[in-house]
């Protein structure tokens, strides 16, 4: 039985590979990846011995183990305009596309450990649809010592920060304001 319908950010795909957890994560979840992450952002990782290891997500996509989703450039541009001049530039193209996809498909849960991406999801009112890498791994029965960037504790701290930003009106451009292109 598959646990979740996950939308994965590039950072999660890369670290799941480098930690040797990718195959189990893939086997236990319905994995969705944005086209930008799938086709341009994830190409290789560096293993524990410092060697470059290629990642071939396209073969897994062709084997129907991964679902590719996409958003148009116009959808991405419109979404990015919703963020202020501080947060907007911190979102890379793969994250921006994933946010558009997340808004469009309500059953998806976004897994990322990128600070700006977590903040953005919460500011957009989808804080219940983002999950830490540590929590995903635990749900798959994969527990091991992880870096702080993967931790549920760090994730919760970022979510709390974003919730405060939302209450204080930070991070998003006020409705009707057209100062950013």
Asked whether the beta carbons of 26 and 56 are under 8 A apart, the reply is: no
The 10s digit of each residue's pLDDT in 144-159 is 788 888 889 999 999 9
Asked whether the beta carbons of 177 and 86 are under 8 A apart, the reply is: no
Q: What whole-number distance in Å separates Cα of residue 93 and Cα of residue 147?
A: 25
Dihedrals φ, ψ of 84, to 5°?
A: -75, 175
The 10s digit of each residue's pLDDT in 160-172 is 999 999 999 999 9
Query: What is 5-168's CATH number, 3.40.50.300, 3.40.190.290, 3.20.20.210, 3.40.50.1010?
Result: 3.40.50.1010
At residue 1, the pLDDT reads 43
Average pLDDT of the residues in 15-39: 95
Average pLDDT of the residues in 98-111: 97
Domain coordinates in residue numbering, the chain: 5-168
Q: What whole-number distance in Å separates Cα of residue 107 and Cα of residue 102?
A: 8
Place of tokens 């994560």: 25
Least confident piece of the model among 11-20, 22-31, 141-150: 141-150
């Amino acid at each position: 039985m598959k646990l979740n319908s996950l939308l994965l950010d590039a950072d999660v795909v890369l670290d799941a590979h480098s930690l040797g957890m990718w195959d189990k994560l893939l086997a236990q979840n319905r994995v969705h990846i944005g086209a930008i992450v799938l086709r341009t952002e994830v190409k290789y990782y560096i293993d524990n011995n410092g060697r470059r290891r290629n990642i071939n997500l396209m073969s897994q996509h062709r084997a129907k183990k991964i679902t590719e989703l996409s958003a148009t450039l116009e959808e991405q541009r419109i979404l990015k305009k919703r963020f202020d001049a501080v947060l907007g530039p911190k979102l890379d193209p793969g994250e921006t596309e994933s946010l558009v996809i997340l808004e469009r498909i309500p059953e998806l849960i976004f897994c990322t450990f990128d600070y700006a991406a977590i903040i953005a999801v919460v500011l957009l009112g989808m804080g219940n649809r983002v999950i830490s890498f540590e929590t995903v791994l635990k749900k798959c029965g994969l527990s091991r010592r992880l870096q702080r960037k993967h931790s549920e504790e760090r994730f919760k701290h970022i979510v709390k920060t974003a919730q405060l930003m939302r209450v204080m009106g930070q991070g998003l451009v006020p409705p009707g304001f057209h100062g950013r292109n």
